[in-house]
Amino acid sequence: MAHLRASVGAVILVAAALIWRRPDLLVIATPMVAVTAWSVITRPGPAPTLDDHLAHPTIREGDATTWHGVISGEPMVDLAVAAVSPVPWVEARPAGGAVTAAALDGTVRLAVDLRSTRWGTRSIEPVEVHAATSWGAFRWRTRTSRHALTTLPLPSVFDVNASARPSDGLVGIHRSARAGEGNEFAGIRPFHAGDRIRRINWVRSARSGELRVNATRADLDTHIALVVDASDDFGVSEGIDGLASSLDGSVRAAGAIAEHYAPRGERVSLRVFGTATAHTVAPGSGRAQLRRVLDTLARVRPGDPGRTGYRTPASRQPGAIGGQITVMLSPLVSPDALDLAVSLGRQGKTVIVVDTLPAHVSQDDDEYTALAWRIRLLERRREVRLVLAAGIPVVEWRGPGSLDHVIRDIARRSTGPRMAQR
């Protein structure tokens, strides 16, 4: 349009100056003539090429990556513009996602910083790229392909001082719950058929008058089975810098627990229920396992409560569950989660339920919605009491030390006999 305006203006003004003998019109036409001539001389040839990529396709919440685009192959290109479409939970810099750059030696380098504020996998929509010659006379435009951006959850700060049985185990730093052939002394007990002779404690046997053996604990690592309830997502999510929804809390807490245990050699497994597709990670340890867990957590999508028919019930979903310590992270609103916790507890599994329902969930501008939430929370309090009555600890997620108290209790309980329905 600019080239058309300049060239039409130039021709008409020059023609009018000649026809009506108005040389002053030549003065007015001069800029138009100059712009037209300049534009025609710098008319572009073949279409330039665009190479683009994301600097880091996988980042953590709150981190930024950069979209780079390089336009080359056409020396007449004067400037280029790139505009990144708005993507939920992704902040662009410059604000608005549009950047301009001047050509240097026929090459234009464009860069847009993208900061992801919430975990998840999302695609950066095709970037609109425009290039233009001098005076904006000739323009070329293209759209890039989509770029996948995976944002790993940024685990909350988490630490556990309590340990089921602290020791220098062979694999992890926590002792297995099972008694067995190990080196760690667990106590002295009466001799049973099958005990090895070398286990007999002759001094105690002589004192008590019956055979006593030294009991030891099995040299196994701790297995933390993480179970994430993704049936629904309650509350407002404002990304890493603001309020967290229930699923934000669950995912970040699961990431924190995995980050605490997996690099120390403990086995960590993951199972997500309530989603359309099953997400499971088999038990494993180490940093690679941590990365697998975080990658899987990043792919979690909350299940649609209106489409419960398409969801796999918690009890039917495959995946590792019922490890030494099963940590279920749930807002405890879905009946699936409560049922699963109780059924695992009744099987004699060690279960800890972490309540991730955010406090702001009952605050709503609509008084009826707020009232409905308060009623639901009263019902939920009763349901949680039933879970507690089944011997399953329910704790609120508070970051470091959230699980200390319950893990100490579990360590104490595991030394005694337990009842289980089989």
Partner 1 sequence: MSAGELQQGIDRLAMVSSQRWLFGTLAVVAAGGASAAASAAGASASQFVVLLILGLASAAAFHPDSHAALLVEAMVVWQWLAGTDDATDPWVIAVASSLFVFHTVIALMAVTPSSAVVDRVLLLRWLRRGGYVLVATCSMWLIVVVMVGRQAPGSALLTFLAFVTLAAFTVAIRAVGVTARSSG
Chain residues in the site for partner 1 (CB under 8 A): 1-2, 4-6, 8-9, 11, 13-16, 18, 20-28, 30-32, 34-38, 40-46, 74-76, 78-79, 81, 83, 94-102, 130, 132, 134-137, 139
CA geometry: angle 41, 44, 45, nearest 5 deg: 120
Burial class (CB in 10 A: 0-12, 13-18, 19+), 156: buried
Encode burial over 160-170: b for 16+ CB neighbours within 10 A, e otherwise.
beeebbebebe
Q: How far is the CB of 124 from partner 1 (least distance, A)?
A: 17
Q: How far is the CB of 13 from partner 1 (least distance, A)?
A: 7
| DSSP class per residue in 148-175 | EEEEE--PPP------SSB---SSSSB-
The amino acid at residue 221 is D
Q: Can you tell me the distance from the alpha carbon of 304 to that of 292, in angstroms, rounded to the nearest whole number?
A: 25
Q: How far is the CB of 267 from partner 1 (least distance, A)?
A: 49
Question: Quick one: 27 or 148, whose CB is closer to partner 1?
Answer: 27
Question: Quick one: 141 or 405, whose CB is closer to partner 1?
Answer: 141
Retrieve residue 259's tokens.
């980050």
Inter-residue contact 185 to 214 (CB < 8 Å): yes
Q: How far is the CB of 113 from partner 1 (least distance, A)?
A: 14
Q: How far is the CB of 103 from partner 1 (least distance, A)?
A: 9
- Alpha helix (H) ranges present in 351-391? 367-389
Question: Quick one: 2 or 211, whose CB is closer to partner 1?
Answer: 2
Q: How far is the CB of 88 from partner 1 (least distance, A)?
A: 15
CB atoms within 10 A of CB 110: 20
* Torsions phi, psi for 256 (to 5 deg): -65, -45
Q: How does strand 267-273 pair with strand 223-229?
A: parallel
Say what the alpha-carbon torsion angle 166, 167, 171, 173 is, to the nearest 10 degrees.
40
Question: Quick one: 15 or 278, whose CB is closer to partner 1?
Answer: 15
CB atoms within 10 A of CB 183: 11
Inter-residue contact 175 to 217 (CB < 8 Å): yes
Q: How far is the CB of 14 from partner 1 (least distance, A)?
A: 6
Retrieve residue 248's tokens.
């934000």
Question: Quick one: 80 or 228, whose CB is closer to partner 1?
Answer: 80
Long-range CB pairs of 195-202, under 8 A, 24+ apart, other chains included:
none
Question: Quick one: 58 or 142, whose CB is closer to partner 1?
Answer: 142
Question: Quick one: 136 or 263, whose CB is closer to partner 1?
Answer: 136
Question: Quick one: 96 or 242, whose CB is closer to partner 1?
Answer: 96
Q: How far is the CB of 96 from partner 1 (least distance, A)?
A: 3
Q: How does strand 98-102 pair with strand 79-83?
A: antiparallel
Which of 272, 269, 283, 259 is closest to 228 using CA atoms? 272
Q: How far is the CB of 105 from partner 1 (least distance, A)?
A: 13
Ranges assigned E (strand) in 125-258: 128-132, 139-143, 147-152, 179-190, 212-217, 223-229
Question: Quick one: 9 or 322, whose CB is closer to partner 1?
Answer: 9
Q: How far is the CB of 238 from partner 1 (least distance, A)?
A: 18
